[in-house]
Structure 1
Amino acid sequence: MVRFWDPAYQCFTFNQEDVTPTIEEYASLLHIDNVQLNKIYVKEPKPITFMTKLMKLTGMTDTWAEK
């Protein structure tokens, strides 16, 4: 399967045909039980606060930013 993977398009290519596995097929290949399809793509964005931006810029911990 690795031989047919096209990293530029992130899909498998068989004789000029592009094939992409479904979520169910990924779950089967990776041996994931109890896949909840409605939760795979759902991720609530966390608002980025000033303190979070400050911690990322300085590389410090949250206790330092609180001080």
Structure 2
Amino acid sequence: MVKFWDPAYQCFTFNQEDMTPTVEEYATLLHVDNVQFYKIYVKNPKPMTFKKKLVKLTDMTDTWAEK
């Protein structure tokens, strides 16, 4: 299955056809017993403000970014 996994699209590709697992299949693969099928599961991104990104990209200080 690893051979058919496309990390860019995060799905399986068979003969140029994309296929993604359903919630039921994910629950089976990950051995999750208490999955709620009518609930939306999301991964919360880590909050990073523009100022933090700017400081990280430019290697400057917080005071420089505030100006």
Q: Normalised by the size of structure 2, how large is the TM-score?
A: 0.55
- Show the counterpart of 1:20: 20
Q: Which moved more, 1:31-40 or 1:12-21?
A: 31-40
The alpha-carbon deviation at position 40 of structure 1 amounts to 4.0
Q: Report the CA distance shift for 1:42/1:17 in structure 2 as closer, same or farther (over 3 A).
A: closer
- Show the counterpart of 2:33: 33
Could you list the runs of 5+ residues in structure 1 that have no partner in the other structure? Answer: 44-67
Task: Give the share of equivalent positions with the same residue, in percent.
Answer: 84
- Show the counterpart of 1:6: 6
Give the Cα separation in 2 of the matches to 1:42 and 1:32: 16
Structure 1 runs of 4+ with >3 Å offset: none
The alpha-carbon deviation at position 5 of structure 1 amounts to 0.2
Could you list the runs of 5+ residues in structure 2 that have no partner in the other structure? Answer: 44-67
Which amino acid is 2:19 matched to?
V
Give the Cα separation in 1 of the matches to 2:42 and 2:9: 23
Q: Normalised by the size of structure 1, how large is the TM-score?
A: 0.55
SS in 1 for 2:12: strand
Higher relative helix content: 1
